[in-house]
Amino acid sequence: MEKLLNELSSECQPAYGVECDVAKNAQVPENLKRSTPLGLPNIAENDLLRHFTNLSRKNYALSTVFYPLGSCTMKYNPLINERIARNDAFNNVHPYQPIETMQSVLEVMYELEKDLCEVAGMDNFSLQQAAGAHGEFAGLLVISKYFKSIKQKRRKIIVPDSAHGTNPASAHGTNPASAAFAGFEIVPLKSELDGSISLDKLKEVLTPEIATMMLTVPNTLGVFEKSITEISKLVHDNGSLLYYDGANLNAVMGIVRPGDMGFDVMHINLHKTFSTPHGGGGPGSGPIGVKSFLEPFLPVPRVEKKKDKYMLNYKKSKNIGKVKAFFGNFPVILKASAYVKALGGKGLKNVSEQAVLNANYMLAKFKDKVNVPAGNRCMHEFVLSPKTLFKNDVRTIDIAKRLLDYGYYAPTIYFPLIVDEAIMIEPTETESKETLDKFVNVVNKIILEESYQEPQKLKDAPINTPVRRLNEVDAARKPILKWD
């Protein structure tokens, strides 16, 4: 176990020097003078370097292992984009600078907004939101304000149980959470076995109070919504709007556009689809796209171009206000911009085709051995349900923990909630056939051999990691939050 900095500290080796920068003759009141040492750890630079390098090696990261985390698109993020984001020309700009001196920053935002419109088939984008969930929230505020402006009382949102988050009672997941935050009531919709929507069931819940329906296409089971045109017609005939959760955009870029499918509002998770490292929770960016009739409601400021000059417009009459300081997470916007410009339309289409091909290749290798509830074909991800194979009390959580011993990051498990003992796998376009083959072999070995021959090993897993399996109940009920 790597020691903490305080534990590594040794008085013998003072490794830093603190100089008092208060003038000698300054009149500092006695009661403000420090009487105890600063308490910083004493560690030689060399040991400090080793400490952090050792810690980083304990981490499971995309730069060290295959990371098949379903629903989250953990793909390779081109390192050159990091260098671009660190470029002084962008990095040293302050948001309070005069507009004339930050034209390049505004140009990047203006251009990315146009590129996202092209990819998504929308008319306008706001880049301010800091995550997908934040985008959902802002998008729903736009919808809320729109209905207020046309004097309609619509306070309900349909969320299918295949979406991100399904349990209305606990608001589990981002879709119902965002809806509740934005002041809406959630109307759950039970989906079919493959996560798709039944038109008959949809008709039953489409009442005059429905403001919008939130859909993820392809859905969290990796299945494309075949009836999307009919769904769009039903929803719009009811006077409601259609919201697109763009977390799975990596499956459809250059092939089909949310705007063309009939969606009115959407978000894109730039950190997922457009290559920003996002394990561990940030930083993210969740731009929202809208059809033109909703543009007046977008958060301010809007980046505009007048006679070759970029400017910020704060004066949109119906805007929902600001949702983030300044212009959003600009470095993420910059990286996405570099990614889009480098790949171009053809490149982005190739990304999606390759992501779907990789997922189907893996699915084909699994499907004769492990139950796949949503069938023989998928988009960019698929869900296994190995429940029927489990003997000896082994469960999906044990499979996931055991994968850590083999050096993999575990896939998403127990999600979506509609699949028993779900294991959700998204290989992405940036993995080789060899990597996929190796992973499939290991998963099959764990499920089909180890769980029968050495069930206790699976219950004990992970065995080779620096920290063994945690007691999840204690972690939630009696968390230890500080070093003592």
Query: Where do contacts with ligand PLP occur on this chain (CB under 6 A)?
Result: 71-72, 131-133, 164, 174, 216, 220, 245, 247, 269, 284, 286
The nearest distance, CB 153 to ligand PLP, in angstroms, is 27
- Which H or E run includes 241? strand 241-245
The nearest distance, CB 158 to ligand PLP, in angstroms, is 15
The nearest distance, CB 279 to ligand PLP, in angstroms, is 11
Residue closest to ligand PLP (Cβ): 132
CB 216, CB 222: distance < 8 Å:
no
| For ligand PLP, the closer CB: 212 or 216 | 216
Report how far apart, in Å, the C-alpha atoms of 337 and of each of 116, 120, 144, 340, 344 are: 9, 15, 30, 5, 10
Report the 10 Å Cβ neighbour count for 112: 25
Look up tokens 């920053």; give the residue: 105
Looking only at the bridges linking them, the beta strands covering 412-413 and 309-313 are unpaired
| For ligand PLP, the closer CB: 286 or 411 | 286
| For ligand PLP, the closer CB: 378 or 394 | 378
| For ligand PLP, the closer CB: 178 or 451 | 178
The nearest distance, CB 246 to ligand PLP, in angstroms, is 8
The nearest distance, CB 179 to ligand PLP, in angstroms, is 12
C-alpha–C-alpha distance, residues 99 and 111, integer Å: 17
| For ligand PLP, the closer CB: 43 or 247 | 247
171 DSSP assignment: T
Q: Is the C-alpha dihedral spanning 385, 390, 395, 398 positive or negative? A: negative
The nearest distance, CB 242 to ligand PLP, in angstroms, is 16
The nearest distance, CB 244 to ligand PLP, in angstroms, is 10
- Which H or E run includes 89? helix 88-91
H helical segments located in 396-454: 396-405, 433-445, 451-453
The nearest distance, CB 245 to ligand PLP, in angstroms, is 5
| For ligand PLP, the closer CB: 66 or 274 | 274
The nearest distance, CB 467 to ligand PLP, in angstroms, is 25
Q: Is the C-alpha dihedral spanning 245, 248, 251, 254 positive or negative? A: positive
| For ligand PLP, the closer CB: 119 or 458 | 119
Largest Cα separation within the chain, whole Å, is 84
Buried (b) or exposed (e) across 367-388, using 16+ Cβ within 10 A?
beebbbbbeebbbbbbbbbbee
The nearest distance, CB 130 to ligand PLP, in angstroms, is 8
| For ligand PLP, the closer CB: 75 or 402 | 75
C-alpha–C-alpha distance, residues 448 and 118, integer Å: 46
Report how far apart, in Å, the C-alpha atoms of 87 and of each of 90, 91, 253, 311, 435 are: 6, 6, 28, 22, 33
**Is residue 214 classed as helix, strand or coil in its secondary structure?**
strand
CB 403, CB 446: distance < 8 Å:
yes
| For ligand PLP, the closer CB: 131 or 202 | 131
| For ligand PLP, the closer CB: 133 or 158 | 133
